[in-house]
Amino acid sequence: MCILLFKFDPRPVSKNAYRLILAANRDEFYHRPSKSADFWDSSNEILSGALVTNFLTTDLDSYSYLKKVSVEGHLYNGFNLLAADLNTTKGDVVCYYGNKGEPEPVFLNPGRFSSEKRIYGLSNSLLDTPWKKLQYGKQLFTEVVKRSQDLTKEDLVQELLTVMNNQEPQLPDPAIEDQGKDYIRPILNKYAAVCVRCPGYGTRTNTVILIDSEGRVTFTERNMINADVNQWKTSTYEFKLHT
């Protein structure tokens, strides 16, 4: 169970506004081997956790790449994929494809944060499926985003991390119960929160990505250490988008 929340605005009206604000949790078994996000080589051109690579190394635009993926989407277990072209001269484009939803990828509409419907959310279902935990996460995320221009970058990151570590269960939620069935019911009280905290399983990574009006990127990742919920390491990378 993972959760991702984001808002994008290709042409922010203020220098203090952000083109992209994204916050996400990775939920996984604590002892499953994994690597933290890092630059792949000395060129510092690809920053990734080594899970999704093809799009980052292809010359296709985001829609064309997802269109290519959708042709074989039926061959795989359920997945969701977001791809974006972030370009300071041509404007930003974000596309989405879920292989259990529409047969072709879709372009996502940008919008300013005054409209909650322009805040997108994704969990273990299709984009914006109204699970209560996702709706609650979007509500908390929206409240922070509305104040983003009045916060320092560091404070904005911390407030978004606070949102992603909210452990208040959002119950009852028949939709999440039905999808999880017997596996979920014993841990439903923990599973139905933005931050999942169960014995041996739960949220082990928080990620926050900010892109400001001038194309400066701040990528912050907070990782659990040694499968211990009391030990965390935070890494931050800052760089500028290619024009």
Mean pLDDT across 21-44: 89
Is the predicted pLDDT of residue 13 greater than 80, yes or no? no
Chain segment 51-60, per-residue pLDDT in tens: 677 888 889 9
Q: Cα(78)–Cα(75) distance, rounded to whole angstroms?
A: 9
pLDDT of residue 87: 76
pLDDT of residue 143: 97
pTM for this model (two decimals): 0.92
Q: How confident is the model at residue 234 (pLDDT cuts 50, 70, 90)?
A: very high
Is the predicted pLDDT of residue 22 greater than 90, yes or no? yes
Is the predicted pLDDT of residue 75 greater than 60, yes or no? yes
